[in-house]
Amino acid sequence: MQTERVTFLTSPDHKAALDAFAASNGKSVGHVLREASTRYLAAEDRAEGEDDKALALILPEIEAMLPHWHAKIDSMERSIDRALEAIERALAGDPVPMSHAA
């Protein structure tokens, strides 16, 4: 297996903790860091896969709700338009139509 050197900076305390951990497990610091980085990368891959699964589960639900949301937004727009028309009539001095009077 061809290898390459990777250098990283850490605090003396962190280096001591790595040394102690590696020694207590009968491994080199390099071996511990290789294992840790391999697990980290594998976890990232799993997380991406889990995100894709979650999206696949929720997307049909969202798509099913879109017509309802569009209808609600359309209703709100109509209500706002009616309110604006009433405000414009009131500002112009026009009486409020009886169907809108309380």
Structural domain contains residue 40: yes
pLDDT tens-digit series, residues 81-97 = 999 999 999 999 886 66
**Which pLDDT value is given to residue 101?**
54
Confidence at residue 13, expressed as pLDDT on a 0 to 100 scale: 96
In tens, the pLDDT along 21-73 reads: 999 999 999 999 999 999 988 887 777 778 888 889 999 999 999 999 999 99
Q: What 3-state class would DSSP assign to 10? A: coil
Query: How high is the pLDDT of residue 46?
Result: 78
Of residues 9 and 46, the one with the higher pLDDT is 9
Residue 71 in any domain: the answer is yes
Supply the range of the domain harboring residue 34: 12-96
Cα–Cα nearest to 34, from 22, 44, 23: 22
- Using alpha carbons, list the distances in angstroms from residue 50 to 39, 59, 63, 68, 88: 16, 14, 20, 28, 53
Instruction: Give yes or no for a contact between 90 and 96, defined as CB atoms under 8 angstroms apart.
Output: yes
Count of domains forming the chain: 1
